[in-house]
Amino acid sequence: MSRFVLVTADHEFSQRTEKAVSGLHGNLHSITADYLPPSPDHILGVLSGELVEVILLGPGLPQEDSIQLASLFDLQYPEISIVLVTGNDSEVALPAMRAGIRDLLHPTANVDAIRMMLERASLAAAGRRRGLGSSVEGQPTGGRVIAVMSPKGGVGKTTVATNLAVGLGKIAPMSVVVLDLDLQFGDVASGLMLEPERTLTDAVTGAAVQDSMVLKSYLTVHPAGIYALCAPLNPADADRISGEQVGHLISQLANEFQYVVVDTAPGLGEHVLATLELGTDAVWVCGMDIPSIRGLRTGFGILRELNLLPEQRHVVLNFADRRTGLSLGDVEATIGCPVDVVLPRSRAVPFSTNKGVPLLQDGSRDGAGKGLGQLVERFKPDWEQRPHKKLHRRAIVQ
């Protein structure tokens, strides 16, 4: 059961928080005080060792003391999400991020706003605990960088990338970020129905380049429990972003998140090659048409020569339809490797795109939704241990 802790002397805010928690699976432990103890153990000691997911500091507490205590929690108990209740959002945002504070909440926030914030913070805590467990088992601490690729445009790359990110968000809540690297005409924002305040242009310049906490403050939170860093609002900005800047950005994100899903631009441009240099996985998307299939075969050949093919390969055949005159065997023979996931042509896909709600967020039982779910399964930590030899042979084109 989730456990929330509130430290404040503000009785009215405490009552609102109590009502917010009543709608969640968990309970609230309130500590009435207008000061803070010197260490995290002083707070945790009064809770008899019970699970703590989220701690709210304030209102009415000294702001400097709250930030200092939050930094100690970040070092000693990184799995606990700290939320600072303050009315000075603009002044405290940067030091709060540097101290590892998960979120800022205004003292006048209503019950619904408090409940929504607690849900986000609780998901983040669950993701951190899962990530810490993985590192104990000897797995690498850096996240997986998944490049969603296609030499040709119009094959559904963004649909695959956004659904993959949403699906992974169910495995690792608040530990997934989707990065839109189609810098001129990226559609991740519209595909997820987001209106970002900051974009990739901001993330590769200024303080965000040196400070990952600042970078995280530039990300847009999506209701599915994932983050997004969207393409520049002005297509002209693409010319001012170098491959080196993109590589540094991806490295920063991989150090902060369990999964970094990169929606690349069509082709093999500078930014795509920078992504492949750091990629652990590549999801190759092609349609069921000859130009798309031949383009994929050519792309494989070029990247093989450049030694830029990621070790983990996942081939997705989109818009699969028997009436095209091509078979699954034809596709595999042309590209020279097996198809791992087949997504049948579906009316639900354009509908979900126009609505801005990915199929895997909507819980669709459509054939394309099932295929996207199979793709997500390939990124679960235990995938390599499963007996799945020749699994692609089970794929059937409807």
Average pLDDT over residues 151-173: 92
| Global confidence as pTM | 0.68
Q: State pLDDT tens for residues 81-109.
A: 899 999 887 778 778 877 888 888 999 99
Mark out the alpha helices in the chain (DSSP H runs): 11-22, 40-44, 63-76, 89-98, 111-136, 157-171, 188-191, 200-203, 212-217, 243-256, 270-278, 290-306, 328-335, 348-355, 359-362, 367-377
pLDDT bin (cut points 50, 70, 90) of residue 132 is low
pLDDT bin (cut points 50, 70, 90) of residue 388 is low
**Which of 124-128, 137-141, 291-295 shows the lowest mean pLDDT across its residues?**
137-141
Average pLDDT over residues 16-20: 92
pLDDT at residue 129 in the model: 67
pLDDT bin (cut points 50, 70, 90) of residue 394 is very low
**Which of 95-104, 197-206, 220-229 shows the lowest mean pLDDT across its residues?**
95-104
pLDDT at residue 127 in the model: 65
Q: In the predicted model, is pLDDT for residue 48 greater than 70?
A: no
- 34: CB partners within 8 A, 6+ apart: 8, 9, 60, 61
Nearest to 372 by CA among 398, 341, 339, 394: 341
pLDDT bin (cut points 50, 70, 90) of residue 344 is very high
Q: State pLDDT tens for residues 53-92.
A: 899 998 999 999 999 999 899 888 888 889 999 988 777 8
Q: Are 157 and 150 in contact (CB under 8 A)?
A: yes
pLDDT, greater one: 343 or 131: 343
Average pLDDT over residues 306-324: 88
Q: Are 215 and 200 in contact (CB under 8 A)?
A: no
Q: Are 121 and 143 in contact (CB under 8 A)?
A: no
- 346: CB partners within 8 A, 6+ apart: 366, 367, 368
Mark out the alpha helices in 279-366 (DSSP H runs): 290-306, 328-335, 348-355, 359-362
The fourth-level CATH superfamily of domain 144-394 is P-loop containing nucleotide triphosphate hydrolases (3.40.50.300)
Average pLDDT over residues 104-124: 87
pLDDT at residue 106 in the model: 92
Average pLDDT, the chain: 86
Nearest to 44 by CA among 8, 3, 99, 11: 3
Average pLDDT over residues 128-139: 50
The full set of domain ranges for the chain reads: 2-136, 144-394
Could you give the CA distance from residue 352 to residue 231 in angstroms, rounded to a whole number?
Answer: 20
**Which of 109-118, 149-158, 383-392 shows the lowest mean pLDDT across its residues?**
383-392
Same fold across 2-136 and 144-394: yes
Architecture in CATH for domain 2-136: 3-Layer(aba) Sandwich (3.40)
pLDDT at residue 5 in the model: 93
Q: In the predicted model, is pLDDT for residue 6 greater than 90?
A: yes
Q: State pLDDT tens for residues 364-375.
A: 788 899 999 999
Q: What's the token pair of residue 124?
A: 């983040």
pLDDT bin (cut points 50, 70, 90) of residue 138 is very low
